[in-house]
Structure 1
Amino acid sequence: MRVEHFGAEPIKVTDDVLRDWPLPEPGEDKEARGRVLVIGGTAHTPGAVLLAGEAALRAGAGKLQIATADPVAAALAVAVPEALVVPMATDDHGNIDPEAAEAVHELAADADAILLGPGFSDARASADLMAQLLPLLDCPVVLDAVASAYLTRHRDGVEHLGGRAVLTVNPQELTRTLEKSDEPTGEQAIEAARRLAAETQAVVLLGGQGKVVAAPSGATWLIERGGPGLGVSGSGDVQAGVVAGLLSRGADATQAAAWGGSLHGAAGDELATRVGAVGFLAREIGPRVPGLLEHFSRSG
Structure 2
Amino acid sequence: MPSRSDVITPALLRDWALPVPTGGKEARGTVLVVGGSRFTPGAVLLAGVAALRAGAGVLQLAAAESTAASLSIQVPEALVVGLPETGDGAVRGDPGDLLHGLVAEADVVAVGPGLTDIETTGELLRLVLDAAGRETALVLDAYALGALSHAPELLAGSGRKAVLTPNLTEAKHLLGRDPGDDLDAEAVELAGRYDAAVSLYGHIATPDGRAWREESGDAGLGTSGSGDVRSGLLAGLLSRGADPAQAACWAAFAHAVSGQRLVPRYGRIGFLARELLDEIPYTIATV
State TM-score, norm by structure 1: 0.91
How many angstroms does 1:178 deviate by?
Answer: 1.4
Alignment of 1:30 onto 2:25: yes
* Letter matched to residue 31 of structure 2: V
Q: How far apart are the structure 2 equivalents of 1:252 and 1:59?
A: 14
Does residue 146 of structure 1 match 2:140?
Answer: no
**AA matched with 1:38:** V
Q: Deviations over 1:102-132 (max 9, x none)?
A: 4312111221111100011222321222123
- Pair 1:204-2:201 in alignment: no
1:104: which partner in 2?
Answer: 99
1:289: how far off? 0.6
Partner of 1:11: 6
When residues 247 and 221 of structure 1 are mapped into structure 2, their CA distance, relative to the original with a 3 A threshold, is same
The alignment partner of 1:156 has SS state of: helix
- Match of residue 184 from structure 1: 180
Task: Give a deviation string over 1:7-53, Cα, whole Å, max 9, x none.
Answer: 95100010000000011113232111111001000011000000000
The change in CA–CA distance for 1:161 and 1:80 in structure 2 (over 3 A counts) is farther
Change (3 A) 1:213 1:55: same
Matched, 1:165 2:165: no
| Superposition deviation, residue 101 in structure 1 | 5.0
- CA-based RMSD of the aligned residues comes to 1.5
Residues 171, 184 of structure 1: 8 Å contact kept = no
Counterpart CA distance in 2 for 1:264 and 1:283 is 12
Aligned: 1:115 with 2:110: yes
Task: Work out whether residues 235 and 282 of structure 1, in 8 Å CA contact, stay in contact via their aligned partners in 2.
Answer: yes
User: Secondary structure in 1 aligned to 2:279?
Assistant: helix
- In structure 1, list runs of 5 or more residues that go unmatched: 1-6
**CA spacing shift, 1:101–1:262, aligned 2, 3 Å:** farther
1:266 aligned to which of 234, 250, 257: 257
The one-letter code sitting in structure 1 at the alignment partner of 2:81 is V
> Conserved in 2, the CA contact under 8 Å of 1:226 and 1:267?
no
Q: Which amino acid is the alignment partner of residue 27 of structure 2? A: A
SS class of match (2:286): helix
Task: Tell me the residue number matched to 2:243.
Answer: 252
Q: Say if 1:110 and 1:161 are closer, same or farther in 2 by CA, change over 3 A.
A: farther
Is the 2:3–2:184 Cα contact (8 Å) retained in structure 1? Answer: no
Task: Answer yes or no: is the 8 Å Cα contact 2:101–2:131 preserved in 1.
Answer: no
Give matches, 1:65-84, under 5 Å: 65-84=60-79
Q: Which amino acid is the alignment partner of residue 145 of structure 1?
A: A
Q: Check the 8 A contact 2:84/2:95 in 1, yes or no.
A: yes
Residue 95 (structure 1) aligns with: 90
Separation of aligned partners in 2, 1:223 and 1:101: 40
Q: How do 1:285-300 residues align onto structure 2 when only pairs under 5 Å count? A: 285-296=276-287
Distance in 2 (CA, whole Å) between partners of 1:278 and 1:87 is 34
Q: 1:216 to 1:258 in 2, by over 3 A?
A: same
**Contact 2:141 / 2:165 at 8 angstroms: preserved in 1?**
yes
Question: Shift of residue 191 of structure 1?
Answer: 1.5
**Structure 2 contact 92–121 (Cα < 8 Å) conserved:** no
Q: How many residues of Structure 1 are paired with residues of Structure 2 in the alignment?
A: 284
CA distance in 1, matches of 2:212, 2:62: 32
1:37–1:115 Cα contact (<8 Å) kept: yes
Alpha-carbon contact 1:266-1:292 (below 8 Å) kept = yes
Q: Partner of 1:16: helix, strand, or coil?
A: helix
Stretches of 4+ aligned residues off by more than 4 angstroms = none
Partner AA of 1:116 in structure 2 = V
